[in-house]
Amino acid sequence: MMQPVRVIIGLGSNMGDRLIHLRNAVEQMEIGPVPALSDVNYSSIYESKALLPNHAPKEWDMPFYNAAISGMCSRSPTDLLQFLKQLEERAGRSYRGVWAPRELDLDILLYGNEAINQQDLTIPHKELLRRDFALVPMAEIEPDWLWCEPGPFHGKSLKQICAELGMGQGDNLTRCKHHLMSRK
């Protein structure tokens, strides 16, 4: 068994009952038959505009619910990715095209301080620092996590990076009143 490492997973949904899709995924990651995470932190849920390719069908322009969770994980990055893909499939996700609407989108945003660049897995995502819908929820739950990738943000915290990039202050991201885990 691997030594546990802290990970951050991004969640998104813009088809069907977005809130239920996110909550079901979190429940399966944390308390499912074979939990993937322990010691979990939950971000707020944010609504954002869909990123769309040029000439995307008009019906693809549906807003996303986005969030992030962090937790301790004993799975390898590839095992975790496979688990997340299974959760997406269970939620009904199927391939409809690049950036098409989806019931559930789960991404490993950070895996400890590892940089992974494989054909089917890149951590951190190469566009992560341009995506407020991912970076803002990450900084909310792990504000002091230090960026380890080379470049202008190396050694800076997620909170500092968001501030320097002006993320969370525009029209593209709105904090929702909903919570990832229902209040009991």
pTM given for the model: 0.93
User: Is residue 181 domain-resident?
Assistant: no
Structural domain contains residue 183: no
Q: What is the distance of C-alpha 134 from the center of its chain?
A: 6
Measured at the CA of 18, the angle between CA 12 and CA 23, to 5 degrees, comes to 80
Query: Which range marks the domain in which residue 166 is found?
Result: 5-175
Count of H-run helices and E-run strands, the chain? 4, 8
Can you give the pLDDT at residue 108? Answer: 96
> Which residues, including other chains, have CB under 8 Å from residue 25's CB and lie 6 or more apart?
11, 87, 91, 104, 106
Is residue 57 included in any domain, yes or no?
yes
Q: Is the pLDDT of residue 184 over 50?
A: no
Residue 30 in 3-state DSSP?
Answer: helix
Q: How confident is the model at residue 35 (pLDDT cuts 50, 70, 90)?
A: confident
**Is the pLDDT reported for residue 97 higher than 50?**
yes
How many domains is the chain partitioned into structurally? 1
DSSP secondary structure letters along 122-173 = EES-TTGGG-HHHHHHHHHH-TTPBP-SSSTTTT-BHHHHHHHHTTTSSSSE
Residue 180 lies inside a defined structural domain of this protein = no
- With beta carbons less than 8 A apart as the criterion, state whether 6 and 72 touch: yes
Closest CA to 65 of 134, 8, 135: 134
pLDDT given for residue 70 in this prediction: 96
Peptide bond into 33 cis (omega under 30): no
Q: Using CA atoms, how far apart are residues 37 and 159, in angstroms rounded to an integer?
A: 23
If you search the block for the tokens 């979990």, which residue do you land on?
Answer: 40
CATH number of the domain that residue 96 is part of: 3.30.70.560
Per-residue pLDDT tens for 58-96? 999 999 999 999 999 999 999 999 999 999 998 887 776
Q: Name the residue type at position 146.
A: L
